[in-house]
Amino acid sequence: MLADDDLGGQRDDPSTPTNRKYVDAFAAIDSDPNPLLAVAEDDRNLVGCLQISFIPGLSRLGMWRGRIESVRIASPYRGKGLGRTMFEWAIDECRNYGCGLVQLTTDKSRADAHQFYETLGFTAGHEGLKLIL
Amino acid sequence: MLADDDLGGQRDDPSTPTNRKYVDAFAAIDSDPNPLLAVAEDDRNLVGCLQISFIPGLSRLGMWRGRIESVRIASPYRGKGLGRTMFEWAIDECRNYGCGLVQLTTDKSRADAHQFYETLGFTAGHEGLKLIL
């Protein structure tokens, strides 16, 4: 599902057996209490996934923040409201975890995504910068 | 130092004794291996601070990412290259931790910051969105 995406297709590996790098990354996420991987199922088929990283910080009176990332929907399920349901669930998870805000960044080339996030209540007040190492 | 800032001044509390919320947040950061709080000292005076959150993820072949955030410089030390030194150190920490990229978001109102980040090699390809809970 990570590779079935305009951007992910260029940088992820859908081959079987699963690339060892994903197995190691899953173990790292699983052993840390603060990132949360979630999947959406339809009749035992995996149809969506996302990650929430709960991040403690000192700023804003020690406010916890939730970062929602790596959201993917299986292609037959796109455009049917599943993304909205998953985001609403993820926002509730952040609220229940005690976060004061939810953050995400979206590639500027994903133009339709911005409008979608605005309908969920997000505001685009920041620039998202990246440095490849 | 968090409150001695155009934006932070509106939302942080510099009073003594330290607000309990900061003590709790420090304990949360300290007990988690993935966020790293660092301070810069000059002759035993605290002159700067920053946080790096090392975030595991499945995307991009299970790439770890480093998020640099809450960077603050004591006002007498601003404009003297300390910020650059701290960022270069933080980027090296991300590299040493095994991160494949470094991310940060910056408030669009901090116009001079964008140019500074570009000189460090960052590119602004993302929108940073936020939802206050």
Does the pLDDT at position B112 exceed 70?
Answer: yes
To the nearest whole Å, the CA of B48 is away from the closest chain A CA by: 14
Contact check, Cβ <8 Å, A57/B11: no
Are A57 and B25 spatial neighbours (Cβ–Cβ below 8 Å)?
Answer: yes
Contact check, Cβ <8 Å, B62/A21: yes
> A14 to chain B: which residues are within 8 Å by CB?
none
> Across residues B114-128, what is the average pLDDT?
91
CB pairs under 8 A between A and B: 219
> B54 to chain A: which residues are within 8 Å by CB?
none
- Which neighbouring-strand residues pair with A55? A65
Q: What is the DSSP annotation of A16-48?
A: SSPPHHHHHHHHHHHTSSSEEEEEEEETTEEEE
Do you know the residue count of chain B?
Answer: 133
> Across residues B105-128, what is the average pLDDT?
89
> B52 to chain A: which residues are within 8 Å by CB?
none
Strand pairing of A99-107 and A64-73? parallel
pLDDT tens column, B56-78: 998 888 999 999 998 999 999 99
B112 Cβ under 8 Å from any chain A Cβ: no
pLDDT reported for residue A6: 62
Are A55 and A64 spatial neighbours (Cβ–Cβ below 8 Å)?
Answer: yes
- Which neighbouring-strand residues pair with A39? A49
Residue A7 — pLDDT band, cuts 50, 70, 90? low
Q: What does the angle CA A45 – CA A51 – CA A52 come to, to the nearest 5 degrees?
A: 135
ipTM (interface pTM):
0.86
